[in-house]
Amino acid sequence: MDDFVSKYEVTDRDLAKGRNLRIAAFAAPILLTGVPAVLFTVLAFLFGTTPPVAFTLFVVGMIFTALGFVAGLALMGLFIYRRSNWTKEMREKMAADGIKAEEIDWFTNELKSSEKKALKDIGKADLLLADAYRETLASRLTATRIVKSSRKELALTQRRRTKLKNFSTDRGQQFREQIEKDSEKISSIHDEAKMMLAEAEARLQMIEAAAVRGRSLADSELALKKLSSRAQNLPLALEEVRLTEEISRELERELEEGENSEAESSTDYLPTSEEKQT
């Protein structure tokens, strides 16, 4: 069965086509507006020797510039529309044989905002987890597409079954039996795709939890290291404070002793009353 599965790879030619459409979309209004403006400006300088000729060239140039701008906007819309169709076609070709992890960037519009944020955060924190997350996202996108397409096919099969109820011929009976087989097969695919989708979503939650747990453990470890470093430096700080206080008290004691000794020496040399009379 694998031999019948279409394998599609994005080629350089495909990428060049999309790149050219984008360049053409932005270049069309610039070129179609700028070329007439520059052309008639040059003509006005070369041939606008008299005021009537210069004024005529100026008016004609303004008209052609405005027409070029409108035509450029129209071509821009056309190229944007064609590039949008090209992008959808590329997505469908890629998704035909299952979306791959390296093709996730083509399907960002189908991702949830939470998935985009988680993919960005996990990519910054852990590359291995980011690869696993991208792989699981690819599985989730593939399963989602299968669920949607199989649901549509079941609705169409139900309509065909309703229409064939009015046919009572043998041919109608054969058609009804064939539709019943198709309905059973599509229902089986639908149920299997729903199981794949639930499994992929559960795996995404597990990877996100593992990434968050890894970041929180790293932050907790860093906080513990800082706390341990502070705890180790705390006795040194306390000892420094104690020594500073002892030095301060020693200095105060020496100052007090110095003041007392000076007071005692001054009292020893005070003259007596008899010495004062002589």
Task: Using a pLDDT cut of 70, give the percent of the chain over it.
Answer: 71
Q: Which domain holds residue 51?
A: 9-97
Res 243: pLDDT: 59
Has residue 51 been placed in a domain? yes
* pTM for this prediction: 0.62
Same domain, 137 and 231: yes
Q: What is the DSSP letter of 168?
A: -
b/e sequence 70-100, b meaning 16+ C-beta within 10 Å: eebeebbeebbeebeeeeeebbeebbeebbe
Q: What is the DSSP letter of 165?
A: T
Specify whether the CB–CB gap between 32 and 71 falls below 8 A: yes
Average pLDDT along the chain:
77
Same domain, 47 and 130: no
Same domain, 62 and 196: no
- Selected residue with higher pLDDT from 23 and 48: 23
Same domain, 179 and 105: yes
Has residue 266 been placed in a domain? no
- 271 three-class SS: coil
Res 83: pLDDT: 92
Average pLDDT score over residue span 14-25: 89
Note the helical H segments in the chain: 12-47, 51-95, 113-125, 127-164, 170-268, 273-277
Has residue 3 been placed in a domain? no
Res 67: pLDDT: 92
Same domain, 132 and 90: no
- Chosen domain end from 97, 132, 150: 97
Does 233 have pLDDT greater than 60? no
Q: How far is CA 191 from CA 74, 88, 144, 202, 263, in A?
A: 46, 26, 12, 17, 106
